Amino acid sequence: MIEPDNPDLSITAQCRLLSISRSGYYYAPVPENGATLALMAVIDQVFMDCPWYGSRQMARHLQRMGHAVGRRRVRRLMAKMGLAAIYQRPRTSDPHPEHRIYPYLLRDLAITRPNQVWCADVTYLPMRRGFLYLVAIMDWATRQVLAWRISNTMDAGFCVEALQDAMARYGKPEIFNTDQGSQFTSHAFTSVLRAAEVRISMDGRGRWMDNVFIERLWRSVKYECVYLHTFETGSELRAGLARWFTYYNHHRPHSALAGRTPAKAYGHIAPSDHGGHAPHDLMTKLAA
């Protein structure tokens, strides 16, 4: 996203346009040690079963499992993983204080057809050594996963790439709904939607249940793919996800779709379901 040698825009100007802090651009993340990564994997599995756990309940649960861990450490790790308890609050993702929050447009709206509403979310994926973040773009009515990307940072870049890929292959939705996470409220992300004249919707107070469809997707991809294989590298994870998303879209029947697959319900099969074919730039470092 950032071009250090751009003759017209300085790095500071580019960061400002993309709603990225200059310090964040230069920051080199320090990897967690093996014990911490193992604890994060346990936290992720517990959270998939008990998504209402906040840091206090999570710490107590881990202590009952025999882990000597305090609430402050659990809170830090859950924040790093992008995990927050599901209950009625403005959102489960942290908004950026300077980003515009768009109104919620889905109240009392009957969502009955493909490309009427798309949604997106980000989740944490543990590996044997390290972790990555996954973003997916989903068609609300058919549960079809239109595009996805993985990244080792939570910046907006890989979310923008997934959005652009979905729109290039499937057209555009009438409405795009997300939570108020900083990736989705960033200028880089919303400008793509505005340029395509897509109406932007963001979940507000009391709308936490609207994320349930993609939360079910996260549960499925983790239990049916990620946890079973414990991938070593980012490239292995990406290949495994590509196989699983192809299976999910084309071969996994959905009870909510009268036994049809998402691709059958969507009514359009793209040339490829390998939505992660152009990984985020930082992936090359992790996959090496």
Residue 65, both tokens: 């499992």
Q: What is the pLDDT, as a whole number, of residue 209?
A: 61
**Per-residue pLDDT tens for 90-125?**
333 455 555 688 999 998 899 999 999 999 999 999
**Per-residue pLDDT tens for 207-216?**
556 667 888 8
Separate counts of helices (H) and strands (E) for the chain: 13, 5
**Per-residue pLDDT tens for 66-78?**
999 999 999 999 9
Distances (CA, A) of 129 to 75, 132, 199, 218, 234: 21, 10, 40, 20, 10
**179: three-class secondary structure by DSSP:** coil
Residues near 144 by beta carbon (within 8 Å), at least 6 away in sequence? 114, 138, 249, 262, 263, 265, 266
Residues found in the chain: 288
**Per-residue pLDDT tens for 154-195?**
889 999 999 999 999 999 999 999 988 889 999 999 999 999
Residue 170, both tokens: 């499937």
Pairing of strands 199-202, 117-126: unpaired
Residue 100, both tokens: 């515009």
**Per-residue pLDDT tens for 15-35?**
776 666 666 555 555 667 888
Q: What is the pLDDT, as a whole number, of residue 23?
A: 62
**Per-residue pLDDT tens for 36-49?**
888 998 998 898 78
How many CB atoms within 10 Å of residue 207? Answer: 18
Q: What is the pLDDT, as a whole number, of residue 70?
A: 93
- Domain ranges within the chain, ordered by starting residue: 34-81, 117-287
Cα angle: 256, vertex 148, 271; to 5 degrees: 80
Residue 213, both tokens: 């469809």
The pTM (predicted TM-score) of the whole model is: 0.70
CATH 3.40.30.10 fits 117-287, yes or no: no
**Per-residue pLDDT tens for 262-271?**
999 998 544 4
Round to whole Å and give the CA distance between 18 and 28. Answer: 19
Mean pLDDT of the region 136-143: 96
Q: What is the pLDDT, as a whole number, of residue 235?
A: 93
Q: What is the pLDDT, as a whole number, of residue 130?
A: 86
User: Quick check: 146 and 138 in contact, CB under 8 A?
Assistant: yes
Strand partners, 227: none
